[in-house]
Amino acid sequence: MFGWESNGADQMACFEKKCIIVTALLLTCWLTTASSLRFLYGEIGLPFEMRCLPASTADKVVVVVVWRLNGSAMHNSSDLFIQSTLLRLKKVALSNRGEYSCHDASTGRELDRVNFKPGYPPHSINVSCRCKDYSNCLCTFHLNRETFLPTNYTAVYWDKSFKDCLTESKDSCLIRNVNLFSVEMFTLSVTAVNDLGSTNVTATYTDNIVQPDPPENVTAHRVKNAKSSILVTWQEPSTWNSVMQLKYEMDYKPNQTSSWQTVELNENHFTITDARQGEPYVVRVHCHDIFLGRWSEWSPQVYVGTKQVFGVLGSEVTLKCGFPEDTMGGQFVWTLNGSGLTLNGDVTLRQNRLTLNNASAQHAGSYSCSLAGTNDAVDYILLNLGSMPKTAKIQCRAVNYIHFKCVWSNENKINFKAQYRFLDNDTVVDCTLLGGGNVCIGAWLGSPSSTLELRVSASNSFGVTNSSVQLQLKTILRPEHPVVLQTCPSGLSPRPSRPSVSVRWASPASWRLPEVFPLQYRLRFNVTHVVEVSGYNTYSYTLTGVAPGIQYAIQVAAKDAANNGEWSEWSQLITLPCNQATSVSALQFIILAFVASLLGLEFC
């Protein structure tokens, strides 16, 4: 090639020299690259050891090592023992959280870096299930002890066969159409996992998990011309989507006493006939399936005699004293919080009606009204002033072709109701509320291009605000990220012809029926390099021609194979090969590859 011939020994000598050049270049890159960050986890209260593990062979001969925590030097103490490359925590505490680094004592060069996270493994789980009706059950779970580490839950239940409990928040899952009357017991199994361990609990439930929401729209007022009588009415909870009958208990008492009188009812109204005239009363109601389950929570208390009035700040609010015939042509005297009320441009009086033309916070409080010239109060009114709920900003996402989830902002003491319908179908379906009521999940019953309209009603004591949004599955579909299965090869051979590393992953657990709705995948390594994986439902990829000793940061994303919706988020980052601890930048890798190509070699 160069006009002269060489024997085999000369060629081998040249080959070895070129390998030495490439190896020297590789070593130079290693020495100028910062160490990779490792993650370690230790259980609080137990001893823990970490070692300085420099990846470079040259760095491993360093004898004297200094340790730093979050950049500050560390020294031996009653809680800490350091001996060169070894650092021992005698008893892990939460205060030990941070980034530890070890350095060459003579040059200060960083050799290794560890992000240490103290915590506890999951110990035991509390699980509670409740069915607002006979079809949908919400199960919530929490650990009995804080772990101080991210904890993931998985839940399955037995209803003739094992099924996934549809997890829609970190600590709850929804079971749709559960068969509570099955011969088989309803069993739920929940597993909690973090980086220090896992725990599992299995609980068996019967029909006693049926617990309705409290009755709604409870009203109570004195009966006209029979002031010793109070008429109380209410409605069954709107979430009771069942033909089963409810029974009720109603409590009432004078406002100043502590003991309740209870009435059991099968109807949604009752007239109290023994109320003392002129004395304020308080009423509450709860409900129960006529045969099974538990009593609901009590409804909000309703005050009688002391009327509760809710007004919107900045609006006109009118208070009415007694019945119209109570006026008898006389004048009324009003008090606010026991003091006389001055009439002016913002406060006007007409017969038995007091009007606040621009209600402000100073107008809230306890009002009483009486006829001028008498000491007998006709009415007591408690005025509450506040704001109506804000318009909900709704965001929706579908993680599969079966269910969708919508969330919106939540305010204190707001009641939500969500319903949806497909525009080509007049059927209205309740969207099942989760958590604090600002999350709902529904079943997608149309094609991906069908348009669904979701309406959210937000109400509090001061009013109702309605919001709506129109959706198409093909635009809100976004799978959850795949699960990368980290496989650590035993090591690269000394001189492979084309070194490679393999990556394997699994489809997201929430992506239902992948054989019907396949997924496509893409792979990203070292942040900037993205590779499209050919074929659908392909769960592995091999990176070839990689450089030995270089670590690759791998992530995988998924998307519906029909190109509906968006790509998922990237999966959690893993590094391959696992037995290496130093990374080389993309630019350094390109330089090395270019030098090697000039030498006519692959990496040695």
Give the DSSP letter string of 156-167: EEESSSEEE-EE
Q: Which of 117, 139, 118, 137 has the alpha carbon at shortest distance from 128? A: 139
Q: HEC states along 64-113?
A: CEEEEECCEECCCCCCEEEECCEEEECCCCHHHCEEEEEEECCCCCEEEE
**pLDDT reading at 321 higher than 90:** no
Question: Contact, 412 vs 490, CB < 8 A?
Answer: no
Q: Is residue 86 part of a domain?
A: yes
Confidence (pLDDT) at 381: 84
Q: Residue 139 in contact with residue 205, Cβ under 8 Å?
A: no
Domain that holds residue 511: 483-583
167 backbone dihedrals φ, ψ, rounded to 5°: -80, 115
Q: How confident is the model at residue 328 (pLDDT cuts 50, 70, 90)?
A: low
Distance between CA atoms of residues 294 and 377, nearest Å: 42
Residue pLDDT, tens place only, 443-474: 888 888 899 999 999 998 899 999 999 999 99
Exposed (0-12), middle (13-18) or buried (19+): which is 376, by Cβ within 10 Å? exposed
Residues 511, 553 within the same domain: yes
Q: For residue 60, what are the contacts with CB-CB under 8 A and spacing of at least 6? A: 54
How far apart, in whole angstroms, are the C-alpha atoms of residue 533 and residue 528? 16
Residues 467 and 490 in one domain: no
For 218, 250, 285, 437, 465, the CA distances from 300, given in Å and listed in that order, are 8, 12, 8, 17, 21
Average pLDDT in the chain: 80
Mean pLDDT score, 505-515: 87
pLDDT per position as a tens digit, 169-194: 678 888 877 766 655 567 888 999 98
Instruction: Examine the fold and report which residue of 93, 119, 145 is the final residue of a domain before the chain moves on.
Output: 119
Query: Which is more confidently placed, 375 or 186?
Result: 186
The answer to the question of residue 334 being in a domain is yes
Q: Is residue 23 part of a domain?
A: no
Residue 373 has pLDDT above 80, yes or no: no
Q: Does 100 lie in the same domain as 45? A: yes
Question: 259 and 199 in one domain?
Answer: no
Residues 364 and 403 in one domain: no
pLDDT at 170: 74
Q: Is the pTM of this model over 0.75?
A: no
Residue 26 within a domain: no
Domain total for the chain?
6
- Cβ-contact 560, 576 below 8 angstroms: no
DSSP single-letter state for residue 250: E
Q: Is the dihedral of CA 166, 172, 177, 183 positive or negative?
A: positive
CATH number at residue 576: 2.60.40.10
Distance CA 360, CA 37 (A): 57
Instruction: Tell whether 591 is covered by a domain.
Output: no
Question: Is-contact 43 92, C-beta < 8 A?
Answer: yes
Rounded to an integer, the average pLDDT of 31-43 is 69
The rounded percent of the chain whose pLDDT value lies above 70 is: 80
**589 within a domain of the structure (yes/no):** no
145 in the same domain as 133 = yes
32 assigned to some structural domain:
no
Report the candidate in 189, 190, 202 with the shortest Cα–Cα distance to residue 151: 190
Sign of the dihedral through C-alpha 25, 26, 28, 32: positive
219-223, 430-434, 554-558, range with greatest mean pLDDT: 554-558
| pLDDT > 90? residue 234 | yes
> Using CA atoms, how far apart are residues 425 and 445, in angstroms rounded to an integer?
10
Position 3 in a domain: no
What confidence category does residue 22 fall into, taking pLDDT thresholds of 50, 70 and 90? very low
Residues 320 and 376 in one domain: yes
Claim to verify: residue 267 and residue 281 sit in the same structural domain = yes
Task: Give residue-wise pLDDT tens across range 484-494.
Answer: 876 554 444 44
Does 233 have pLDDT greater than 80? yes
The token pair that represents 65 in the structure block: 């090592």
Cis-peptide, bond into residue 150, ω within 30° of zero: no
Q: How confident is the model at residue 158 (pLDDT cuts 50, 70, 90)?
A: confident
Position 14 scores a pLDDT of: 42
Same domain for 300 and 373, yes or no, is no
Q: What does the alpha-carbon distance between residue 589 and residue 577 come to, in Å, rounded to a whole number?
A: 16
559 has pLDDT over 80: yes
Residue 19 · residue 604 · CB < 8 Å: yes
Paired tokens of 602: 């692959």
Residue in this structure with the two tokens 């506040």, named with its chain if needed: 386
- What span, in angstroms and rounded, lies between the C-alpha atoms of 405 and 401? 12
Are residues 437 and 503 both part of a single domain? no
**E strand or H helix at 408, and its extent?**
none
Q: What is the mean pLDDT of residues 373-388?
A: 80
Tell me the CB-side half-sphere exposure of residue 69, using CA atoms within 13 A: 14
Q: Do residues 222 and 157 share a domain?
A: no
Per-residue confidence (pLDDT) for residue 346, from 0 to 100: 84
8 A C-beta contact, residue 584 and residue 29:
yes
- Alpha carbon distance 413, 401 (integer Å): 33
More confident residue, 232 or 133: 232
Give residue 246's pLDDT. Answer: 93
Pick the last residue of a domain from 273, 288, 304: 304
pLDDT of residue 7 exceeding 50: no
- Domain end, chosen from 119, 140, 167, is at 119
> Could you tell me the two tokens for 237?
């909870």
Considering the domain architecture, whether residues 291 and 224 belong to the same structural domain is answered as: yes
The two structure tokens encoding residue 425:
């179908």
The whole-number pLDDT of residue 280 equals 79
